[in-house]
Amino acid sequence: MAGAGAAGLWAAIHAADRGPVTLVAPDPSGGSATALAQGGIAAAVAEGDDPAAHAVDTMTAGAGLSDTEAVRILTAEAPSAVAELHRRGMAFDAGGAPTLEGGHSARRVLHAGGDATGWALLLALVGAVRADRRVEWVEERVTRLLGDAGAIVGAATDGAGGEIEGDRVILATGGACGIYGRRTGPDRATGEGMAIAWDAGAALADLEFVQFHPTALDVAGRPARLLTEALRGEGAVLVDAAGRRFMDRFDPRAELAPRDVVARAIVEVRERTGGRVFLDATGISGVRERFPTAAASCAEAALDLGADRIPVAPAAHYFTGGALTDTVGRTTVRGLFACGEVACTGVHGANRLASNSLLEALVFGRRAALAEDGAGPVVGDQGGKPPVVPRAGLPLQEIRSLADRFLAVTRDGRELGTVVETLAGGGPATWTAPTLVASLLAQAALRREESRGGHFRTDFPEPHSEWRARQVVSTSGWSRVPVLG
């Protein structure tokens, strides 16, 4: 097992029922997205709600690209995942009564510690794993996989752990938004697991879809800390530099429009006015107490959430693509499994519904832990054009600067072409994980000549039916897999 966020820890707990587990991962308190998650975990547990309605909302957010069966499983198994968390002692706010969040048609999101759900979850899971004698925790990083006769039989680490053998490896190493300078997540989430899987021959999918959170702190020299959309749910508004609201000009739902709509609106207002955009939460009574994480993030930048207008701009938030898996976490390489943000199960399609990713980490982490080995997802003909081989590692700062400028909320074919060329190499594979991920993302975004979900092309601003397909890539080539249903 590699990685100790929600996916890796939950998978380790369940894999221990099948046999001894070696968990290879640094301490997750400083470097996991799970620790930062604010909003909550979605599950149809309220009276009158049901998993089928949760599935419809998930499919709607996915903009035609979600995998119907994966979504059915995600939403059907959500209530039992939450019940198991309760049984294992995780205390949710309000006795587990869910709240309403954007894109959900019912009260369906469970919180813990106000806006510190991820931290509470991490504490509970780390405690459970540390107490489990069947799990040996090696605090190192996996650097590559060990193969034998076409199957994965272990992993090598960067420390004294050396080479660790096992009957399978589960990658749960998190996402890749760390290839962006403006990001809400951890610094080191630069797609290491995706590069490790790629190196072993696994197919990756949906790499062009990145979810940008519209309201991240925008103060020079400060991290782009997330200001949860629950603030807008409670009445916070977006205003331009002159103090005027603008969201109703872009969408009848105004500040409560989907994340991609709000993010594009903010970008457009900033470009048109040449000024900044602000989140005004001063009208919410008791806002500092109700949103302690957001208030602390503002205070770090000498701003008062209860009294000041807070400068905000979009930031990379969730990496939708990853190692392609089936519904039990099997990748296209035998013996290699993936779960959590490093994986692409297809549940999120072109855009993720809020609070579905911690849930995905739990549901598919457990499934990967308990699955039998066997053939993974079928991707059909991979004989498409081969991917452009990335160049030897470019400094991370340069990749971040390219990603912030050209792989962000709005994209354009000419600029994407420039990124692909800048990152092209062709020599021996000496690329680093961020170069590989940024290069494949740019190639996927250039190939997808339409706009859908988290991918918006100014030169192709509409969705096209022939693009109702998932882009899959491996070292053998690109392919388009139609999404049915």
Q: Which residues are catalytic?
A: 259
Secondary structure of the chain in HEC code, one letter for each residue: CECCCHHHHHHHHHHCCCCCEEEECCCCCCCCHHHHCCCCEECCCCCCCCHHHHHHHHHHHCCCCCCHHHHHHHHHCHHHHHHHHHHCCCCCHHHHCCECCCCCCCCCEECCCCCCHHHHHHHHHHHHHHCCCCEEEECCCEEEEEEECCEEEEEEECCCCCEEECCCEEECCCCCHHHCCCECCCCCCCCHHHHHHHHCCCCEECCCCEEEEEEEECCCCCCCCECCCHHHHCCCEEECCCCCECHHHCCCCHHHCCHHHHHHHHHHHHHHHCCCEEEECCCCCCHHHHCHHHHHHHHHCCCCCCCCEEEEEEEEEEECCEEECCCCCECCCECEEECHHHEECCCCCCCCCCCCHHHHHHHHHHHHHHCCCCCCCCCCCCCCCCCCCECCCCCHHHHHHHHHHHCCCCECHHHHHHHHHHHECCCCCCCCHHHHHHHHHHHHHHHCCCCECCECECCECCCCHHHCEEEEEECCEEEEEECCC
Identify which of residues 32 and 432 has a Cβ nearer to ligand FAD in the complex.
32
Identify which of residues 74 and 446 has a Cβ nearer to ligand FAD in the complex.
74
Identify which of residues 185 and 321 has a Cβ nearer to ligand FAD in the complex.
185
Identify which of residues 34 and 410 has a Cβ nearer to ligand FAD in the complex.
34
**Smallest gap, in angstroms, from Cβ of residue 323 to ligand FAD?**
11
**Smallest gap, in angstroms, from Cβ of residue 341 to ligand FAD?**
4
Question: Using CB under 6 A as the criterion, which residues of the chain lie in contact with ligand FAD when the complex forms?
Answer: 2-8, 24-26, 28, 31-34, 36-40, 117-118, 141-142, 172-174, 184-185, 189, 192-193, 226, 317-318, 340-341, 355-358, 361
**Smallest gap, in angstroms, from Cβ of residue 418 to ligand FAD?**
28
Under a CB-based contact definition with an 8 Å cutoff, are residues 20 and 26 in contact?
A: no
**Smallest gap, in angstroms, from Cβ of residue 180 to ligand FAD?**
11
**Smallest gap, in angstroms, from Cβ of residue 353 to ligand FAD?**
9
**Smallest gap, in angstroms, from Cβ of residue 117 to ligand FAD?**
6
Nearest to 396 by CA among 191, 172, 171: 191
**Smallest gap, in angstroms, from Cβ of residue 45 to ligand FAD?**
15
**Smallest gap, in angstroms, from Cβ of residue 356 to ligand FAD?**
6
CA–CA distance, 475 with 383 (Å, rounded to integer)? 10
Under a CB-based contact definition with an 8 Å cutoff, are residues 317 and 211 in contact?
A: yes
- Read off the amino acid at residue 207: L
Instruction: Classify residue 424 as exposed, middle or buried by CB count within 10 Å of its CB (0-12, 13-18, 19+).
Output: middle
Identify which of residues 190 and 443 has a Cβ nearer to ligand FAD in the complex.
190
